[in-house]
Chain A
Amino acid sequence: MCDFIILIYMNLLIAEKIVKRYSNHLALDEVSIAVPKGGIFGLLGPNGAGKTTLIRIINQITAPDSGQVIFDGRPLQANDVYHIGYLPEERGLYKKMKVGEQALYLARLKGLSQAEATEQLKIWFIKFGIQSWWNRKLEELSKGMAQKVQFIVTILHQPKLLIFDEPFSGFDPVNVNLLKQEILALKEKGSTIIFSTHNMASVEELCDNIALINKSKLVVTGGVEKVRRNHGDNIVEIIFHGETNALSQALTPAYSLVSQKEHNGLQVANVKINEQQAANHLLQQLIPHVEIHGFREVIPSMNDIFIKLVS
């Protein structure tokens, strides 16, 4: 019981055993995630895995067949939409409507008053240097410009939870960087962010925790570093100077050589630690035989883990 209370206290959002079935397929099969307060949570998975369905359930766009969502300590309710900001993957704005007008409209639908919304929007438009767009129709802007407006509209009502579904698509590298900075700044200010993407490099860069969904099921969830370490194969990389076969001869059966190559006159070898052996022990074994230049644990990238778990 005590654990449960701590769990609720630490997490802004908990989804418990969510099941969602459409007429001919199961979209989510008992998926549970816990999104800690104040961090960036990566929701990963290939296309069609069920990410968008889960996000829509959190946004109350659809309801789960079973399971429940707990938001900020109690079951999700209708008014919680005011505390959630959602940037969908399928996103857009009214083409024929003026930028300022539609930003105001969307902000008011999120519960801001006309005056609050105007004030907040002015601040953000100045921050992004786009004040001059206020009275222009959206169709006059480029796609990247429209995305900026869309981003502002998503975060304007200062929600507790922000959900970004593939936020970087449609941005050029300069703006991707700007957006990353903004997302990190939002995290600094205490927002909790769910971040759904295929781009594994940005996951390593931004996320604190992740959940990987594949074929409607949760495959793995936890802190990014922990997940990476857990999926490491206990391999260390050793850079040494010496005879090509000096290392392989020095290894005891507890270790096995995975690969070895020459690089700039040095030997680079990957060694798998087979049993519950400490890396230090391996070093002790090797030092008498070869001259060590480098020694590090090989941790798989999120990309490797993604491909390994999904395929």
Chain B
Amino acid sequence: MTHILDTLPLTRLPAPGSYGRTGAPGVTVALREDVAAATLVARRGAGVRLADVVQARFGLTLSDGPRMAGDDALAVLGTGPGRWLTLAQTRPGLAAELASTLDGLAAVTDQSDANILFEINGPRVLDLLAKGATIDLDPEVFRPGDVAVTAIAHVGVTLWRPGEEIAYRALVARSFAPAFARFLIAGGAEYGIGWSRRG
């Protein structure tokens, strides 16, 4: 039998459609490339002022741990001490806006083209992620709003759980996205994968 990996592109993202077992998909994956992103690194000694300004200007609380604040419109994810990733779905000028607002408080670096966003849902999502993630994703442990910068199947991933739902977002470097897609489809084929692209 030809294995499903032998049918997938090595250097491109797979085409939208169904992969693996037929019937209702156990996992659905939606790709987005339209999310503006920027890293935010606090200047030495400016952490408190930065948090105040972000709170005042964007209504977001900068977490000092791996947690997210905000929503799809504008979210900020803790990725390291004094370091965050901001994401915005309808804000193409995110990096410039942050840079001007936070001048002197944080270094802002545009990353809007650096990553591909995978929205991963479905009843078997945890079974699939367990095949690559070496962190405990039990819903009681990895709570709504939790963020993890980690590696899944040798691919660096920023993973988070946006809400109560057992559903996850994974941000993957652009050049690693095809490899990550291969992981998702190879591991999820036995549950059936619904694959789509948005934005």
Partners in one complex: no
Binding site for B on A (CB under 8 A): none
Binding site for A on B (CB under 8 A): none
